[in-house]
Structures are given as structure tokens and as C-alpha cells.
Amino acid sequence: MAVFVTKQAPEFTAEAYVDGDFKTVSLSDYRGKNVVLFFYPLDFTFVCPTEIMAFSDRIDEFKSRGVEVLGVSVDSKFSHRAWAQVDRKEGGIKGIAYPLVADLKKDISREYGVLIEEAGLALRGLFIINKEGVLKHVTINHNDLGRNVDEVLRLVDAIDFSEKYGEVCPANWQKGQAAMKPDAESLKKYLGGAELVAN
């Protein structure tokens, strides 16, 4: 299945490492909340823990926006747990504050179009899914490029704003700034430097 923005995000059910234990999670469990679903190549690697802990360190900012974060790799739930027992100073992810999904059969990575088949691991795919389960944003990085949590939060804010007010968010839009109505007159005002009122 090809994954497209505007379409329903592919459903999945899998085992995950959650708060020191194992739990079965489904994407549908999070219906009614926005979801940041991100894939990373492997446990016990190098760029991955920097990203995993960057999201974990900002989890309260996601939660305050009604957003759930889920990490996924092709490792087992046991590998996730072992890595979560290693201190951050030793390259571990101890203290991770959101679920890590085990995609050992690689079905989820394949379904979301991020699996490198010959290597058997995922690219750094990031998917933002709205409250109705619709895909609103997709980015896929080469595995040597880490992601920016500030940009993910900005996109979450833009999605929330646009869906709430029916306005569109121009380039570099930040929470608290004015957006535009999706019409020519509003665009002219914006490009002409006219003062637009923020909602």
C-alpha cells in the first residue's frame, strides 16, 4: 500500500515497550488524538538515541497539545527494553517517556514505505496523523540525517490551527502568528505586508 497525505494512515497492532513493561498497541488506540509516528533504523545505534531522547525530553510539550508520540524500529520488544535499561551517558535511552513499537516482521515499516528491503531496516520516516486517523504530514530522511523536534512541534501546531480555524499557514508560520484565509485577497494582504489578525 502506498502511503499518501490526505489518506487514512495504515492501521497496525504490535507489541511495544511502554514504561518498563510490554503492551500491545494499535494505532486505533489513539483515535481522537494527533499522533507523531516516527521510524528509526535500529536500537543500539548512533543518531537514533539522540532523536529518541530529544522527543522524550519534549514529551510534555507534545502531551499539552494532545499529541501522542510513538517510535518504531525493526527490533524486538526485548531489544527495546534492553536499550531502555542503558543510561543515556552510555548511549542508552533510559527514561524514555513514550512507547517503542517492535516491528520485528517489518510489516509496519513496509506498509509505511520506509523499509529498505535489502538492508532489513527502516529509514527515518516521520508521519503526523490527525485525530481522525488521516495522514497530514510525511517526511523521510536518509539515515545519516537526524530530525528536528522544534519543526515537528511547529507542524503539529500548524495542523491544529488549520483544522480548528480553516485557515492556511504560510511559510515559516509559528504558533501565535496570523495565518491566511485560502483566497486571493488574503494572499495579497499577506504578501503586501498588511497586518493580519492572529486567531
Per-residue pLDDT tens digits for 41-90: 999 999 999 999 999 999 999 999 999 999 999 999 999 999 999 999 99
Q: How many domains does the chain have?
A: 2
Supply the pLDDT for residue 196: 63
Q: What is the DSSP string of 24-38?
A: EEEGGGGTTSEEEEE
Q: Is the pTM of this model over 0.85?
A: yes
| Annotated catalytic residue 48 | yes
Which residues, 6+ apart, have CB-to-CB distance to 63 below 8 Å? none
- The CA distance from 167 to 130, in Å, is 16
Supply the pLDDT for residue 192: 86
Output the domain CATH number for residue 52: 3.40.30.10
User: Are 93 and 180 within one domain?
Assistant: no
Q: For the chain, what is the mean pLDDT?
A: 95
Whether residue 151 is predicted with pLDDT greater than 70 in this model: the reply is yes
User: Are 61 and 157 within one domain?
Assistant: yes
- In degrees to the nearest 10, what's the CA dihedral of 49, 112, 12, 25? 10
Mean pLDDT of all residues in 137-146: 96
Task: Give residue 77's identity as a one-letter amino acid code.
Answer: K
Domain-embedded: residue 3? no
How would residue 3 be classed by pLDDT, with cut points 50, 70 and 90? confident
- The CA distance from 192 to 188, in Å, is 6
- The CA distance from 100 to 80, in Å, is 7
Domain-embedded: residue 4? no
3-state secondary structure of 69: strand
Q: What domain range is 139 assigned to?
A: 13-165
User: Are 79 and 40 within one domain?
Assistant: yes
Q: Say which of 14, 27, 48, 152 is annotated catalytic.
A: 48
User: Are 95 and 192 within one domain?
Assistant: no
User: Which H or E run contains 14?
Assistant: strand 13-18
Mean pLDDT of all residues in 158-167: 95
3-state secondary structure of 73: strand
Supply the pLDDT for residue 125: 98
User: Are 45 and 121 within one domain?
Assistant: yes
User: Are 115 and 186 within one domain?
Assistant: no
User: Are 93 and 118 within one domain?
Assistant: yes
How would residue 193 be classed by pLDDT, with cut points 50, 70 and 90? confident
